[in-house]
Chains A and B, each alone.
Chain A
Amino acid sequence: DAGVIQSPRHEVTEMGQEVTLRCKPISGHDYLFWYRQTMMRGLELLIYFNNNVPIDDSGMPEDRFSAKMPNASFSTLKIQPSEPRDSAVYFCASSQGQLGYTFGSGTRLTVV
């Protein structure tokens, strides 16, 4: 099993541009989570899906952030327009029930 796969690993973009982060969860996992890690706030849950349906997006900071899960093997997190304060490492994680998450390696986003 390749684990949770995220792409790209690094993204540098200019303020105002659209950014799309991608995630492929582990096959058979029914939960998918998007987290953001910053020095100040640690790991923050942005949104999570159960069986491709968004369950809780209360952690999404603003309307500039959106996430989709069109099928069980793919999810995207989009920021439009991006701002410098969005710079962080974004992690995707998947799980089967409450057995503990498996995290991807993260996408380091830098908005200049």
Chain B
Amino acid sequence: NAGVTQTPKFQVLKTGQSMTLQCAQDMNHEYMSWYRQDPGMGLRLIHYSVGAGITDQGEVPNGYNVSRSTTEDFPLRLLSAAPSQTSVYFCASSFHRGSPQETQYFGPGTRLLVL
């Protein structure tokens, strides 16, 4: 199993550009989520999905879109990049979201720099 994979590993964007961060998992997990990690702060939830066709907003959803057409893939779209979106983005997955004891498995992250 590859686990959770993310591409690209690093990206530089200009303000106003759009892009899609890719996330895939091969563990047949129902629950997938996107976080951003900024220096000196805890991870913040952007969007999450409890299954194919179902998505919902997290703590900081503005400026981001998601979709979940398959169980395996959960792409994150930046609609019009802003310098405030410079961050490290992590995708995570778990079997369900029904129990807070579920272990989340994280991808290696995408470092995004918006100029």
Whether chains A and B associate is no
Residues of chain B touching chain A, judged by Cβ–Cβ distance below 8 Å, are none
